[in-house]
Amino acid sequence: MRRFVRPLLLTALAACCGAAFAATTEQAPQGRLPRWAVPQSYQLAFKVDPAQQDFSGTTTIKVRLTQASDHLWLDGSELTVSKVTVTDAAGKLHAGKYVAVDPKAGVVRVDFGSTLKPQDLTLSFDYTAPLNAQLQGLYKVSARGQPYAMTQMEPISARFAFPSFDEPGFKTPFDISLTIPDSQTAVANTQQVKEAPAGKGWKTLIFAQTLPLPTYLVAFGVGPWSIATAPDISPDAYRAKPLPLRGIAAAGEAHRMRHVLGETPSIIHALENYYGFGYPWDKLDLLAAPDFSAGAMENAGLVTFRDWLLLLDKDSPARNVRGSFNVTAHELAHQWTGDTVTLEWWNDIWLNEAFATWMQQKVTMQVHPEYRADLDRVRGAQGAMTNDSLVSARSIRQPITGNGDIMTAFDGITYQKGASVIGMFENYVGEKTFQKGMRAYIQQHKFGNTTAADLVGAIATAAGKGEAFKHAFNSFLDQSGVPYVQTKLEQKDGKTVLQLSQSRYLPLGSSGDAQRIWGVPVCVRYGTAANGKDNAQSSKVSCEMLDQATGSMVLAGASKPTWVMPNANAGGYYRFSLGKHELADLTAHAGMLSDAEQLAYADAINAGFRHGDLDAGDVLAALKPLTGSKIREVATAPLGQLGWIYQYEATIGAQRARLAGWVKDAYLPRLEQLGYQRKAGESEDDSLLRSTLASSLAFDFKLPEVRAALLKQGEAALKPKADGRLDLDAADPDLLGDALGIAVQEQGKPAVDALIAELPKTSDAALRNGILAGLSSVEDPALTEQVRNFALDKQVKVGEMAMLLMSGRDTAVQRDAMWQWFTAHYPQILARTGSFAGGFLPRLAAGGGCSQAEADRLQAFFKPRLNDAAGIERGLAQTGESIRLCSALKAKQDPAAILR
C-alpha cells in the first residue's frame, strides 16, 4: 500500500491559529474529503486578463453542514486568499479563516471561529492566484504572440482555479461570471446570458447556470478568440430544441474548423439514438487550444482539444483527419458517460474513459465504417496487454491511495483494456441487450454519480443474468493481468473436443504468479466440413464461459482434422497459446480468418515469442502470411515485432540484412506502388499506409531506397523561400516529419539549425509537429544534446516537449546519452512538466532500456525522489519492470535463429 499524500502537518496548524481559532484536533482528510460538509451550489466570479501573470476571483459556495463543527475541509492550491466569510442560515456573518494545511496535496481547512450547528452555510472567498504555466487549472498560453487564458481541471486541478470540494462525487450547479478586458471574448460551459460594463476597459459576462457538474468539468476560456458559428444541430426524437454549435479557436483560425463542425451533428445524433437520451446542455462549443496537456477534454458544453485535432485543411495529414474524428467522438460520448452520469470516485474512472473509448469506436463504425474502428479496438487492447503483463500493472478499478494513483489512472488499462472488456461482455449478452442496460443506466443515474456496481448491475438486469455474470465482469475490473487461455484439441467418443485452461499471461523473466482465474467468455472459430467433405474450408464459432482453471468445449461439426482460432473475431480480452502442431495448422488457414482475427493471430505470435515459446525464425515464418493482406492494419501488424528483433536481437550485419531483406520483400513493392506523394482522390487509408511504411522502412530498417526518396523531400522542404522561410509544403503532408527526420540524419547541423529557427515562426500545428518530428530523429550526439536543450526552451510548448525527448534511444550508447542529459537537467524538466507528470518521468528518462544496469540506475535515481511529483512511484515500477523483461527476453534469444 502507498502512503497517503495528505499528511497532517502539525507545525502548519500550530502556526496558523490564533486564540479565536482554536486548533481542531481532527486530522486532515486523507484521500477523500469527509461527507458531513456537502456543497450545494457555486457562484464563480473571475477577473482575468490573459496579459497579466495573476487573476483574481470570488468564489461563493453554499454548503450543507450535517454535523456540528467549527471548521470544514476543502481543496485549494496556490490560492492567496485575502478574505473568507461564513454566513449562517440566519444570515449572521462569521469571519472565517483559510488554512492551507497541506499545500502540496491542496488540502485546506476553513475555520468558522466557533462551533456551528448543522445547517446550510454560505462560504465566500476573495483570492488571487497565478495564471498557471503548466497547463493546469486556469492557465496561460499564447498563440501568434497573443496571450489566452483557459482551463484544464481534470482530474484535480480545479483547486488551482478556485477553492472547491474538488472531487467528482460532489456535483452541483455552477454560476460563472467572467470580468475580462473589453477587447476580449470569453466562453464557458453554458450560453452567455448577459454582458455588462465593469469599469474602465472591463466588461462582465454572465453565463447561464449549469446543470449539476463536478468541479473537474467546469471550463472557460478568455482571449481574442475567433468563433465559427455552425448551423444548429437539428432536434430529434430525444431532444426537442435545436442545439447551437460553434468552433472556438485562436484569432484568425476558426474558419479551419469547418470539417470537424460538419462531422459533429452525425456524432451527436448517433449518441442520442444509442442512449435514447438527448444531449443535455444548452449549447456545444469545440475549442482548439493553443497548448494543452491531454489530447482533449470533455468539459460539459465546452469541449477543449489540442488545436491540430480541430484545425484541418484539405492537405492536412490523414492521421490528423482520423484523429480528429476519433477524438471528437470520444469527447462527445463523454457528454453521456462522464458528464451526465459521473464516477463517484477516481477508482471508477473507467466508467468515464473505458465507456467513452468503447462508444467512440461504436460511433465511428456507424458514421465512418471505412475507419475500421473495430480493428482499432483490437489493436488498442493488444497495446494494453503489453502493460497488463507487468506485475506492476494497475487493475481497471485500482484502489486510490493518493494523488499519484489519480494521476496515473489515465492509462491504456483504463481506456483500451476497459473498452475491450466492455466489448467482450457486450458480445456475450448481445448488442441489443447491452444497449437496453446502458439506456436504463443513463436514465436512472442522470446528473448523478455511480460506481461499477451500478453499471454491471444495469447490464446484468437487462440480460437477466445473476451473480455469476457480475462475478465474471468484476474479475476483469478488480484484478490486473491478461488471461492466458491454453487450448488442446482432442478426439473423444467420436467428437472433437477443445480442452481449455487459464492462467495469467506472464512474459519470460516475470516474477509474477501465473495462477489467476477470470470469468472469460471464450469464443473459438474452427474449421468445419463443407459439402460433406472434411476439407475445413468453412468455419464456425462456438462460445463458452470459462470461469474455472480448466474447461472444455465440444466443436460440433468440426472437420477432421480441424483447425482452431481460440479468440473468434478477436472479441475477447485474452491471449491464447496453441501447441506447435495446432499453430502450424492455424498459420496454414490464416487466410480464412477475419481481419480482426488476423490481428489476434499476430498477437499470439508476439505473445509466444515473449513467453519464450517461439524464436525469431518462428516469428518470421508465422508472420509472413499477414504481410500480403489488403487491410493496412493487418499488413503492418508484423512491423513492431520485427522492429524489436532488429533493434535488440540482431547483432551482426548479416542478421540485420536478413531482417531488412524480409521487410523489403514484404513491403517495398507496396510502398513504391503507392509512391511518395499523395495522389488526387486517393483514400485516407492509402495515405496512412504510405506514412507507416515509409517511416518504418526508412528509420527502423534503414532501407536506402526509402531514405533516398524521403531525403529528396526533406531537402526540398529545407530550402528557404524568397522570404527566408522554409518551404515545408514541398514535402508530402503525411511524410513531412519523416522527410525532415531523414534530412536531419543525413545533413546534420544545418538541418537542425534551420528547423530550430523555423519553429517559432510557425503557428500551424501540423507543420509544428512535422518540425518536431524531424528534430527528434537527430542521431549525432552533439546535435542530440542541442535538440534536447531546445525542448526546455519556451519556444517549445509544454505539450510538445515529449515529442523531442522520447526518441533517440535505439542503442545503448544513445540511451546512456539520454540518461546523462536527463539526470543533468532533471530540475528543469520537473519545473516545466509540473507536479502532475510524475508517472511519465521514469519512462522519459529510461524507456526503451534493455539491461539490468539501466533498470538499476533508474531505481537508484528515483528512489529518493518519489515525492517530487504525483505518480513517480508507479511510473518507476512499470518502467523498471519493462526494462528487466526486455533484458531477460534478449538474453534468451539465439540471434542465429534469424538466419535459419
Q: Say what the alpha-carbon torsion angle 518, 521, 522, 524 is, to the nearest 10 degrees.
A: -170
- What's the closest the beta carbon of residue 253 comes to Zn ion, in angstroms? 24
Cell numbers that stand for 346 in this block: 477516481
Using CB under 5 A as the binding rule, the residues of this chain from 191 to 220 that contact Zn ion are none
DSSP labels for 543-564? Answer: EEEE-SSEEEEE-TTB-SS--E
Q: Is 718 in the site for Zn ion (CB under 5 A)?
A: no
- Select from 45-53, 245-253, 350-358, 550-558 the region that touches Zn ion (CB under 5 A): 350-358
- What's the closest the beta carbon of residue 305 comes to Zn ion, in angstroms? 12
Rounded to an integer, what is the distance from CA 198 to the centroid of its chain? 41
Contact 741, 708 (CB under 8 A): no
Place of cell 472459430: 525
Of the candidates 202, 254, 201, the one whose C-alpha atom is nearest the C-alpha of residue 230 is: 254
Using CB under 5 A as the binding rule, the residues of this chain from 5 to 64 that contact Zn ion are none
Which residue, 353 or 633, is less far from Zn ion as judged by CB? 353
- What's the closest the beta carbon of residue 356 comes to Zn ion, in angstroms? 4
Of the candidates 131, 128, 94, 126, the one whose C-alpha atom is nearest the C-alpha of residue 111 is: 94
With H, G, I as helix, E, B as strand and everything else as coil, classify residue 569.
helix
Which residue, 334 or 809, is less far from Zn ion as judged by CB? 334
Which residue, 356 or 736, is less far from Zn ion as judged by CB? 356
SS (H, E, C) 138-197: EEEEEECCEEEEEEECCCCCHHHHCCECCCCCCCECEEEEEEEECCCEEEECCCEEEEEE
- Select from 258-266, 318-326, 355-363, 717-725 the region that touches Zn ion (CB under 5 A): 355-363
616 Cβ contact partners less than 8 Å away, ≥ 6 residues apart: 609, 645, 649, 893, 895, 897, 898
- Select from 157-165, 346-354, 665-673, 747-755 the region that touches Zn ion (CB under 5 A): 346-354
C-alpha pair distances (Å), 300 with each of 189, 215, 258, 286: 6, 11, 21, 11
- What's the closest the beta carbon of residue 397 comes to Zn ion, in angstroms? 17
Of the candidates 310, 394, 406, the one whose C-alpha atom is nearest the C-alpha of residue 352 is: 406
Which residue, 38 or 296, is less far from Zn ion as judged by CB? 296
302 Cβ contact partners less than 8 Å away, ≥ 6 residues apart: 187, 188, 189, 219, 220, 221, 285, 287
- What's the closest the beta carbon of residue 528 comes to Zn ion, in angstroms? 42
- What's the closest the beta carbon of residue 358 comes to Zn ion, in angstroms? 11
Which residue, 353 or 873, is less far from Zn ion as judged by CB? 353
- What's the closest the beta carbon of residue 376 comes to Zn ion, in angstroms? 15
Contact 865, 897 (CB under 8 A): no
Of the candidates 232, 230, 228, 229, the one whose C-alpha atom is nearest the C-alpha of residue 253 is: 228
Contact 502, 549 (CB under 8 A): yes
Which residue, 55 or 275, is less far from Zn ion as judged by CB? 275
- Select from 15-23, 53-61, 128-136, 349-357 the region that touches Zn ion (CB under 5 A): 349-357
Using CB under 5 A as the binding rule, the residues of this chain from 660 to 689 that contact Zn ion are none
CA gap 332, 245 in Å, rounded: 13
Which residue, 170 or 216, is less far from Zn ion as judged by CB? 216
Which residue, 350 or 862, is less far from Zn ion as judged by CB? 350
Burial class of residue 67 (count of CB atoms within 10 Å of its CB; 0-12, 13-18, 19+): exposed
- What's the closest the beta carbon of residue 435 comes to Zn ion, in angstroms? 21
Which residue number is nearest to Zn ion in terms of Cβ?
A: 356
- What's the closest the beta carbon of residue 330 comes to Zn ion, in angstroms? 5
Which residue, 353 or 411, is less far from Zn ion as judged by CB? 353
609 Cβ contact partners less than 8 Å away, ≥ 6 residues apart: 615, 616, 618, 619, 641
| Side chain identity at residue 691, one-letter code | S
CA gap 774, 710 in Å, rounded: 12
- What's the closest the beta carbon of residue 453 comes to Zn ion, in angstroms? 22
Using CB under 5 A as the binding rule, the residues of this chain from 405 to 424 that contact Zn ion are none
Contact 86, 96 (CB under 8 A): yes
CA gap 696, 678 in Å, rounded: 18
CA gap 301, 334 in Å, rounded: 11
- What's the closest the beta carbon of residue 357 comes to Zn ion, in angstroms? 7
Which residue, 217 or 424, is less far from Zn ion as judged by CB? 217
- What's the closest the beta carbon of residue 538 comes to Zn ion, in angstroms? 41
Which residue, 267 or 886, is less far from Zn ion as judged by CB? 267
Which residue, 343 or 709, is less far from Zn ion as judged by CB? 343
Burial class of residue 217 (count of CB atoms within 10 Å of its CB; 0-12, 13-18, 19+): buried
Place of cell 444509442: 274
Residue 234: count of CB within 10 angstroms of its CB: 11
CA gap 352, 343 in Å, rounded: 7
Which residue, 414 or 496, is less far from Zn ion as judged by CB? 414
- Select from 69-77, 272-280, 354-362, 447-455 the region that touches Zn ion (CB under 5 A): 354-362
Which residue, 219 or 520, is less far from Zn ion as judged by CB? 219
- H-helix segments, 531-624: 580-588, 595-611, 616-623
- Select from 170-178, 356-364, 494-502, 740-748 the region that touches Zn ion (CB under 5 A): 356-364
Q: How many residues bind Zn ion (CB under 5 A)?
A: 2
Q: What is the DSSP letter of 394?
A: P
- Select from 280-288, 351-359, 501-509, 632-640 the region that touches Zn ion (CB under 5 A): 351-359
- What's the closest the beta carbon of residue 155 comes to Zn ion, in angstroms? 11
Q: Is 356 in the site for Zn ion (CB under 5 A)?
A: yes
Which residue, 138 or 356, is less far from Zn ion as judged by CB? 356
Q: Is 158 in the site for Zn ion (CB under 5 A)?
A: no
Which residue, 354 or 706, is less far from Zn ion as judged by CB? 354
- What's the closest the beta carbon of residue 298 comes to Zn ion, in angstroms? 6
Which residue, 305 or 441, is less far from Zn ion as judged by CB? 305
- What's the closest the beta carbon of residue 208 comes to Zn ion, in angstroms? 25
Q: What are phi and psi of 427, to 5 degrees?
A: -60, -40
Helices and strands in the chain: count of H runs, count of E runs: 30, 29
- What's the closest the beta carbon of residue 351 comes to Zn ion, in angstroms? 11
Contact 481, 516 (CB under 8 A): yes
- What's the closest the beta carbon of residue 294 comes to Zn ion, in angstroms? 8
Which residue, 303 or 318, is less far from Zn ion as judged by CB? 303
- Select from 139-147, 213-221, 353-361, 474-482 the region that touches Zn ion (CB under 5 A): 353-361
C-alpha pair distances (Å), 672 with each of 226, 334, 356, 639, 668: 42, 42, 38, 18, 6
- What's the closest the beta carbon of residue 334 comes to Zn ion, in angstroms? 5
Which spans of this chain sit near Zn ion (rule: CB under 5 A)? 353, 356
